[in-house]
Amino acid sequence: MNNEKYKLLLVEDSQDLGYLLTEYLRIKNFEVKWLKRAQEALKHLQNIAYDMAILDVTMPEMDGFELAKQIKTQFPELPFIFLTARSLKVDVLKGFHLGAVDYLKKPIDEEELVIRIENLLARIAGTKQEVSTTTQFKLGAYNFNSLNQELCIGSQVIYMTNKESELLHFLAMRTNELCSHKDILLKLWGNNDYFNRKSLNVFITRLRKYLGQDPEICIDNIHGQGFILRTGN
């Protein structure tokens, strides 16, 4: 992968780890900006766009979870991962609930970190390319615009989150076909693990609720295999 075009924002208050990661990622041809405070990062993002942010959780003044909330509100197109020593299940689930594309636990091998970042950036780039080719879908009584993240039925407009829209787009591209758990998770979450499978189920439940006004539309769960978006089209 040619990493020269990828710009990373690292928010880490540890002097030693911040320096180590910055230097290693630069060796791997990423452009890296290292900041030690969440507030400083938010101010910096007002003027410079990044391809991905790497966030610590335990920081003074504003922790990484609150920073993630602010990023989702102010810079919704910026994907972020957590790299933190907080490894309790409740923390991992909270991280994914906030919209993280990955949650990595310290200490982590630098080579593994690079591979994960490369895979995530490739997936995100692929999703954006896929969205650019097909953005309008007719799903029974619904009209779905994945570019604008809007699901419409009659005069009602449902404004979807990034992940909701990505998931519905993935299923809509393959209507009436089985989409395996593994394919969905690797494409949209970047990792086929326990926490991501739980997250996927949550998002499927949301989509079923959104699509519930048309009885011809359903998302079937094929036990142990995946999901099928069935339409009356």
CATH numbers and ranges of domains, the chain:
7-130 (3.40.50.2300), 134-230 (1.10.10.10)
Give the separation between CA 168 and CA 49, rounded to whole angstroms. 27
Indicate the residue type of 187. Answer: K
Give the separation between CA 39 and CA 27, rounded to whole angstroms. 27
Give the separation between CA 119 and CA 136, rounded to whole angstroms. 27
The count of other CB atoms within 10 Å of the CB of residue 52 is 20
C-beta separation of 7 from 50 below 8 A:
yes
Residues in the chain: 233
pLDDT tens string, the chain, 233 residues long: the values are 544 578 999 999 999 999 999 999 999 999 999 999 999 999 888 878 788 999 999 898 899 999 999 998 888 888 999 999 888 889 999 999 998 988 998 888 888 889 889 888 887 776 665 555 678 899 999 999 988 899 999 999 999 998 999 999 999 999 999 999 988 887 788 777 788 889 999 999 999 999 999 999 999 999 889 999 998 65
pTM here?
Answer: 0.56
